[in-house]
């Protein structure tokens, strides 16, 4: 949905993007456990069936933390799939 703007469930192209904001608390994921600020979510919603996908806006600090966590734990990039 993020790139195709087509719903994978009903194949409709009536998809709206709701950009995340640091102001709205419902668009954030708390990452305090890892000494990071909140991650902000962008949502893609199918107007026809209601299917929703969420994507995190990846900040530089999150990417830096993730690279270190993956390196320390010996995970490969595809271990989360």
CB count in 10 Å sphere of residue 43: 16
What are the sequence ranges of the domains in the chain?
Answer: 15-80
Is the pTM above the cut of 0.75? no
Is residue 40's pLDDT more than 60? yes
Average pLDDT of the residues in 68-74:
76
Specify the DSSP class assigned to residue 8. T
Matching residue, tokens 């192209």: 13
């Amino acid at each position: 949905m993020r790139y195709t703007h087509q719903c994978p469930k009903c194949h409709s192209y009536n998809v709206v993007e709701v950009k995340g904001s640091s102001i709205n608390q419902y668009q954030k994921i708390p990452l305090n456990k890892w000494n990071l600020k909140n991650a902000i979510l962008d949502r893609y919603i199918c107007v026809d069936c209601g299917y929703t996908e969420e994507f995190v806006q990846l900040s530089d600090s999150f990417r830096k933390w993730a690279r270190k966590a993956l390196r320390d734990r010996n995970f490969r990039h595809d271990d989360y799939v």
